Amino acid sequence: MNKELKNEVPKHVAIIMDGNGRWAKKRHLPRIAGHKKGMEIIKNITKAANRLGIKVLTVYAFSTENWQRSQEEVSYLMKLPIIFFNSFVPELIKENVRVNIMGYVNQLPNDTQKAISAAIQQTSRCDGMILNIALNYGGHDELVTAFKLMATDLQKGKLTIDQIDQNLVSDYLMTHELKPYDNPELMIRTSGEQRISNFLLWQLAYSEFMFTDTYWPDFTAEEFYELIHAYQKRDRRFGKIKDE
């Protein structure tokens, strides 16, 4: 836990929390048991990230594709934010962590929406790390929404084609509220899968990727620190040649 991290820590870390189902299966438990344990791990990693001085921690909790799972699993995943915030908001406030939700929140059940609004409101004064939870989020849909918003602004004369550049595009994405930390320096995926599954398609352009075989419910703060340490050894060139 007290591993020294002398070099710069990434400002924004994004995590694809994968492997809950396989973790549960290995223990002959229902899949939702994996999600429940997974929710507890978010708490540990939030605290660990906050202590490291990370500015934004984004966790992929529910994708626009996850609606295709069984009704039982979907409805449990919709309840989890309620359980999570009920048990964790006081600690988030103590830790000075602000909650942000990224995704199509208005398509979630009403009680989930209520819990989300309450958590956002209750932590609105916290000005430390942002815990950004991607809920009903999908990168393709995010881009489609951004294109539509841009086209509407063009049509209304609020925007000219000449104004469209990389910075303006990022203003139309769901991560615009996280600026200047909207693009993760590091993306971690657990469970051994090596793909990005429609996550932050624009924002991950220059991110470092780290994959670990650990299932999300087994992921620990110690492993998180190790991955941050490994990140610090990476040579990030952004397409340039290193000046020596």
Residues that bind ligand FPP (CB under 6 A): 17-22, 35, 38-39, 42, 61, 66, 80-81, 84, 133, 191, 216
75 is in an annotated binding site: no
CA–CA separation, 36 and 169 (whole Å): 36
User: How near is the Cβ of 184 to ligand FPP at its closest, in Å?
Assistant: 18
Residue 216 marked ligand-binding: no
Nearer CB in complex with ligand FPP: 8/91: 91
CA distance to 59, 80, 108, per residue, from 75 (Å)? 19, 9, 10
Whether residue 153 lies in the annotated active site: no
The Cα 84–Cα 40 span in angstroms is 8
Choose, from 7, 18, 127, 153, the residue flagged as catalytic. Answer: 18
- Shortest distance, position 190 Cβ to ligand FPP, whole Å: 9
Nearer to ligand FPP, 60 or 231 (CB): 60
Output the 3-class SS for 120-177.
HHHCCCCCCCEEEEEEEECHHHHHHHHHHHHHHHHHCCCCCHHHCCHHHHHHCCCCHH
145 is known to lie in a ligand binding site = no
190 appears as a binding residue in the annotation: no
Per-residue tokens: 113: 């929406």
Residue number, nearest CB to ligand FPP: 21
CB of 207 to ligand FPP, least distance (A): 19
50 part of the active site: no
Residue 10 vs 19, nearer CB to ligand FPP = 19
Q: Catalogue the E-assigned strands of the chain.
A: 12-16, 56-63, 98-102, 130-137, 186-189, 208-211
Per the annotation, does 21 bind a ligand?
Answer: yes
Nearer to ligand FPP, 183 or 191 (CB): 191
For tokens 């670990």, the residue is 212
As given in the structure block, the two tokens for residue 56 are 């934004």
The answer to whether 22 is annotated as binding is yes
CA dihedral of 106, 172, 209, 62, whole degrees rounded to 10: 10
Nearer to ligand FPP among residue 172 and residue 224 (C-beta): 224
Instruction: Determine which one of 7, 44, 50, 66 is catalytic.
Output: 66
Beta bridge partners of residue 14, listed in sequence order: 58, 187
Q: How far apart are CA 110 and CA 116, in angstroms?
A: 10
* Nearest distance in Å: CB 24, ligand FPP: 8
Q: How far is the CB of 53 from ligand FPP (least distance, A)?
A: 23
Burial of 68 (C-beta count, 10 Å sphere; 0-12/13-18/19+): exposed
State the binding site for substrate: 19-23, 31, 35, 63-65, 67, 69, 189, 195-197
Which residues have a catalytic role annotated? Answer: 18, 66
